[in-house]
């Protein structure tokens, strides 16, 4: 019977297939099929039609209310729907407030239970948004006693499409290549999306890694909505390989987050698992649990709520990758994948209400346990802030507040942990607060693991991603004034007839530089530090500081002033007016150490074989934070490109085998003629292997013979997987006098590494910009054998080639759009590369 259901589901009526034994349905409520004009599972539904259907349910029924919570980069609406009884809707705000008021005490026995269902965070995993429409219809139209009980006793929130831009990219692809009858061959064009595929958002980011980082508007809008309600249950529906079956929690027990109280893992997940298994047994669907998928990282949709005393559930469905796909057994239809997601949605609702006492206990005990832990800990809080970089400080503050962390202004300056934190420019985060676990996750660099295999990152200490000065406190500080974002406007620029100057320690410095260059002005950078007297005070300006002379320009003094003033306003950084070029120490403004910067003309190779996420991180950084246009050139077009239009070319990780010898020689010649090639991770390996430079990859010592060993076959995944580097944080020493190090005020920085690219230190003693420290591990897991590779290895090396240069990044400086601390290294490689010359060594 199962084979008939799977292969021929669309031929059955929608009600028989999706709603067997559902009881009476309100005929005034249109089914998705009636509204859309096609049967669910026979076509991929565009996001706008999903939105229209939900709004139609809102118009026709007093059980559902739809609200717009934001929009995506491509201006698609993000909606959230609330399903509950008409009586509950009449007092919905009172319910929300009562629900939130009882969070810590768990005293919400008489308040409707709040849960949230989330769908389709990966755009090319489309079955769940179709299931969301079925679930919405069922909750709106069903008149059976169980459904009415759900609506009376619950507030069911629904996010039907977490990634609208990605979904539409995939849906359009699947629909435009759909055949009649459908083709199941996995090599058919319908099943093989072109690069970058529909998984990602507009900038090719994986939104299911963004819950903790909060980089994108889709995520930030969704997090704000979650915190308006703080649901007890939150679901996250996905797809996986076609030959997989269906996954539901509990997951791999050794990969549970050790700081989350284990009642969730030991009681809630197994109990809910019984409901899921029973429901799937009834329809004959196969499934698995406990083998994979960790709950370590707080940034998944299925784990975020766990850090607020809730239960996050992950569902993974084998994907049809279109409308029907071959498997090792019988064909898998889109309709079948949708049905499993739909059944799991209804089962989540059923289990949540039935297990309400356990969910209330989960949250009540969670807050008690975390409060007790905070009070017992010798750690009383953290202080953070960089007086030289208000942008980076305020962005981290904004992230803390997005996650509802209590933060207070630092009322008095403090010296601790080797740093000086200035009042008004730093902040205090107490440990003793309701969201203690979130605080720990944001700041702690080391967590004890029970496993050495990781589905993703093994550390997520965001304070290190921002590389902000911070310190642990053993004595609490006053909590007199809650922090507000102190992104106060920069001082108004005064007009000068000589020059303007600004430091580049602030994260937004490159935005200001490019704005001025784009406006037609020449910009000069200091290759040596200097000090000068401004407004009655001596101010120090470090390496890379920017000067805009008024008269060495093709623009009028008034135009220069207007341009500089607007740059200061847009970047929100202080820009100073000078009336003399004579400095009190260091170089003067007319020195030969003041170098004119070239305006970046940037191209990046994209397309088949290239990692979309890394390319997207570069695109997003330049687009959203610098407002610098970048040409995203498909690798297939490289052969006919005029490279003279660009002074910088970027190659992120990927397989560049599509660049033949002629294309490779063309790129080499461009470098020799003065171009700057910036390579990241495996692209750096490609450039070295193809003879772009004399620099070399690091190779471990293999001279010692290894004794033959023998292991059980079944241990291979665990043994070899433990040697991979899923993602950890390492300390490195930065040459702050090198143009790539300009703007940094300290030599020690944190880098994120999730790869096996290791560079030898430069063949030239001046070309190793960033080198791992002797004891580099800051946080995360690393196998001892892998740790040995860091000894004497470099993270950034520059190779001078002819009139140009190749810059090698062993690590990704733009990881997930969140590594503000190393973004500056990458931006310096773009903006200051004309100042980079590898010195000639004299014997």
Instruction: State in Å, rounded, how far the first CA of the chain is from the last one.
Output: 83
Cα gap 395→399, rounded to integer Å: 6
Contact assessment for residue 744 and residue 736, using Cβ atoms and an 8 Å cutoff: yes
Cβ count near 619 (within 10 Å): 21
Contact assessment for residue 335 and residue 40, using Cβ atoms and an 8 Å cutoff: yes
The pLDDT assigned to 241 comes to 97
Cα gap 727→377, rounded to integer Å: 28
Token pair recorded at residue 722: 């433990």
Cα gap 207→199, rounded to integer Å: 9
Cβ count near 748 (within 10 Å): 11
Query: If DSSP codes are grouped into helix, strand and coil, which group holds residue 771?
Result: strand
Contact assessment for residue 362 and residue 268, using Cβ atoms and an 8 Å cutoff: yes
Cα gap 464→462, rounded to integer Å: 5
Cα gap 34→28, rounded to integer Å: 11
- Give phi and psi for 574, each to the nearest 5: -75, 130
The pLDDT assigned to 5 comes to 35
Cα gap 516→508, rounded to integer Å: 13
What count of Cα atoms within 13 Å lies in the side-chain half-sphere of residue 49? 19
The helix (run of H) or strand (run of E) holding residue 423 is none
> Helices in 644-790 by DSSP H: which ranges?
661-672, 682-689, 716-721, 784-787
Contact assessment for residue 780 and residue 728, using Cβ atoms and an 8 Å cutoff: yes
Q: What is the dihedral of CA 742, 747, 752, 755, to 10 degrees?
A: 90
Cα gap 138→157, rounded to integer Å: 14
The pLDDT assigned to 488 comes to 75
Triad 220, 135, 335: Cα angle to 5°: 105
Triad 88, 89, 93: Cα angle to 5°: 90
Token pair recorded at residue 342: 């739909």
Nearest in space to 471 (alpha carbons), one of 403, 382, 531, 387? 382
Cα gap 358→363, rounded to integer Å: 9
The answer to whether the bond into 303 is cis (omega within 30° of 0) is no
Token pair recorded at residue 217: 């508007």
The pLDDT assigned to 252 comes to 84
Token pair recorded at residue 607: 């397309």
Nearest in space to 458 (alpha carbons), one of 643, 728, 737? 728
The pLDDT assigned to 8 comes to 37
The pLDDT assigned to 703 comes to 53
Low-confidence ranges of the chain (pLDDT < 70): 1-12, 446-458, 485-487, 700-707, 717-724, 842-843
The pLDDT assigned to 121 comes to 98
Cβ count near 147 (within 10 Å): 22
Q: Which residue has the tokens 């430079």?
A: 693
Residues 6 or more apart in contact with residue 653 via CB below 8 angstroms: 610, 611, 614, 680, 681, 682, 683, 755, 812
DSSP state of 513: H
Contact assessment for residue 184 and residue 331, using Cβ atoms and an 8 Å cutoff: yes
Which residues are registered as beta bridge partners of 118?
A: 159, 236
pLDDT digits (tens, 9 = 90+) for 659-686: 999 999 999 999 999 999 999 999 999 9
Which residues are registered as beta bridge partners of 541?
A: 530
């Amino acid at each position: 019977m199962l084979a008939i259901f799977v292969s021929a589901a669309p031929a059955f009526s929608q009600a028989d297939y999706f709603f067997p034994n559902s009881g009476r349905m309100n005929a005034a409520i249109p089914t998705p099929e009636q509204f859309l004009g096609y049967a669910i599972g026979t076509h991929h539904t565009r996001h706008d039609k999903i939105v229209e259907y939900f709004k139609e349910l809102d118009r026709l029924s007093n059980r559902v209310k739809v609200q717009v919570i934001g929009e995506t980069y491509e201006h698609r609406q993000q909606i959230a729907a609330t399903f509950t009884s008409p009586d509950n809707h009449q007092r919905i705000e009172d319910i929300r407030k009562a629900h939130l008021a009882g969070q810590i005490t768990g005293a919400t026995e008489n308040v409707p239970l709040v849960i949230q269902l989330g769908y389709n965070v990966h755009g090319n995993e489309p079955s769940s948004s179709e299931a969301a429409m079925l679930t919405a219809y069922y909750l709106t139209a069903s008149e059976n006693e169980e459904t009415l009980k759900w609506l009376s006793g619950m507030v069911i929130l629904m996010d039907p499409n977490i990634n609208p831009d990605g979904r539409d990219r995939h849906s359009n692809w699947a629909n435009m290549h759909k055949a009649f009858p459908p083709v199941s061959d996995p090599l058919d064009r319908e099943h093989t999306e072109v690069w970058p595929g529909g998984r990602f958002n507009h900038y090719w980011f994986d939104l299911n890694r963004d819950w903790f980082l909060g980089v994108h508007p889709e995520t930030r809008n969704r997090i704000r909505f979650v915190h308006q309600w703080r649901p007890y249950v939150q679901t996250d529906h996905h797809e996986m390989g076609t030959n997989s079956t269906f996954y539901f929690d509990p997951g791999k027990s050794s990969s549970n987050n050790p700081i989350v109280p284990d009642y969730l893992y030991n009681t809630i997940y197994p109990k809910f698992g019984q409901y899921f298994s029973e429901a799937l047994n009834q329809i004959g669907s196969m499934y698995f649990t406990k083998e994979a998928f960790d709950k370590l990282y707080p940034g998944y949709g299925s784990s975020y709520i766990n850090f607020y005393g809730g239960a996050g559930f992950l569902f993974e469905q084998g994907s049809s990758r279109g409308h029907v796909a071959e498997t090792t057994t019988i064909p898998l239809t889109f309709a079948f994948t949708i049905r499993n997601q739909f059944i799991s949605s209804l089962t989540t609702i059923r289990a949540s209400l039935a297990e309400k006492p356990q969910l209330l206990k989960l949250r009540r005990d969670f807050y008690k346990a975390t409060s007790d832990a905070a009070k017992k800990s010798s750690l009383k809080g953290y202080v953070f802030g960089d007086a030289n970089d208000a942008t980076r400080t305020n962005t981290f503050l904004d992230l803390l507040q997005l996650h509802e962390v209590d933060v207070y202004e630092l009322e008095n300056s403090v010296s601790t942990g080797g740093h000086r934190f200035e009042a008004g420019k730093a902040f205090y985060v107490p440990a003793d607060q309701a969201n203690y676990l979130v605080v720990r996750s944001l700041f702690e660099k080391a967590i004890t693991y029970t496993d050495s295999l990781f589905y993703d990152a093994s550390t997520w200490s965001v304070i290190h991603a921002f590389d902000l000065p911070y310190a642990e406190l053993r004595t609490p500080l006053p909590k007199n004034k809650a922090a507000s974002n102190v992104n106060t406007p920069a001082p108004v620029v005064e007009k000068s007839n000589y020059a303007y100057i600004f430091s580049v320690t602030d994260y937004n410095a490159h935005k200001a530089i490019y704005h001025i260059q784009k406006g037609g002005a020449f910009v000069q950078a200091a290759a040596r530090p200097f000090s000068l007297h401004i407004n009655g005070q001596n101010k120090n300006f470090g390496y890379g500081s920017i000067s805009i002379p008024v008269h060495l320009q093709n623009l009028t003094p008034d135009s220069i002033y207007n341009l500089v003033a607007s740059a200061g306003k847009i970047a929100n950084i202080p820009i100073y007016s000078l009336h003399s070029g004579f400095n009190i120490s260091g170089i003067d403004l007319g020195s030969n150490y003041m170098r004119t910067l070239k305006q970046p003309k940037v191209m990046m190779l994209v397309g088949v074989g290239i990692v979309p996420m890394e390319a997207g991180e570069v695109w997003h950084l330049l687009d959203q934070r610098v407002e610098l246009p970048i040409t995203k050139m498909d690798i297939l077009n490289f052969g006919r490109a005029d490279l003279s239009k660009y002074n910088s070319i970027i190659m992120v990780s990927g397989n560049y085998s599509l660049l033949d010898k002629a294309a490779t020689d063309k790129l080499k010649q461009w470098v020799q003629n003065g171009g700057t090639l910036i390579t990241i991770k495996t692209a750096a390996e490609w450039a070295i292997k193809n003879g772009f430079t004399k620099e070399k990859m690091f190779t471990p010592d293999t001279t010692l013979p290894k004794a033959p060993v023998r292991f059980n076959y079944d241990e291979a995944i665990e043994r070899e997987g433990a040697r991979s580097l899923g993602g950890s944080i390492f300390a490195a020493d930065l040459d702050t006098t090198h143009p790539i190090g300009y703007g940094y005020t300290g030599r020690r920085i944190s880098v994120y590494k999730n790869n096996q690219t290791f560079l030898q230190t430069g063949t030239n003693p001046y070309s190793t910009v960033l080198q791992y420290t002797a004891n580099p591990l800051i946080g995360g897991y690393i196998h001892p054998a892998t740790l040995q590779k860091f000894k004497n290895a470099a993270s950034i090396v520059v190779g001078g080639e002819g009139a140009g240069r190749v810059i090698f990044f062993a690590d990704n400086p733009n990881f997930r759009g969140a590594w503000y601390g190393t973004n500056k290294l990458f931006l310096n490689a773009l903006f200051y590369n004309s100042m980079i010359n590898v010195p000639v060594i004299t014997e």
